[in-house]
Amino acid sequence: MLLDPEKTLFVRGATPVLLLADASASVHDALPVVTAPGPGAVPLCEGWSIVPKLTLCVVDGPGDVGGLIPAFAAPVIDGSTGGTNGTNGTEPADMADWCADAERAGGVVVLSLDHLSLSLPLPLPAALDWARLLASGTARGGFMPSLV
């Protein structure tokens, strides 16, 4: 299934993140509810994998569940600064750098935010509220290992 790149957000960092807003019901419902086991920890998304490439990102789930994202058209921000440069970690970034982050990390945290009101695409809120996203009870996903 083709996912709308304007309803995604690729966030750079030591462990890069892919946020999906309004993902198809089949993708969103198939992902596990995110229950972080501890501060800064995100569980492995069993049975899922990701292929992060510059032009196309593939999120592959069990059976026929998954999606393709035209990555070259998707927004990317640099969350790696954590706001230390005065921008709250929301400045635009490069997809090639996000892919390199994914390669170094061995995967990506994918979160489907189907029922949350996150304004995508840009402009973004002044800061992404990760605690709210992970504790909302409606976010689904987890860490997906990268396939190369």
- pLDDT score of 82: 53
Distance CA 60, CA 57 (A): 10
- pLDDT score of 98: 96
| Token output for 118 | 């996150």
Q: 41-92: per-residue pLDDT in tens?
A: 788 999 999 999 999 999 999 999 999 999 998 999 987 655 444 444 557 7
- Considering the entire predicted model, what is its pTM? 0.83
Q: 132-144: per-residue pLDDT in tens?
A: 666 667 788 999 9
- pLDDT score of 123: 41
Residue 92 one-letter amino acid: P
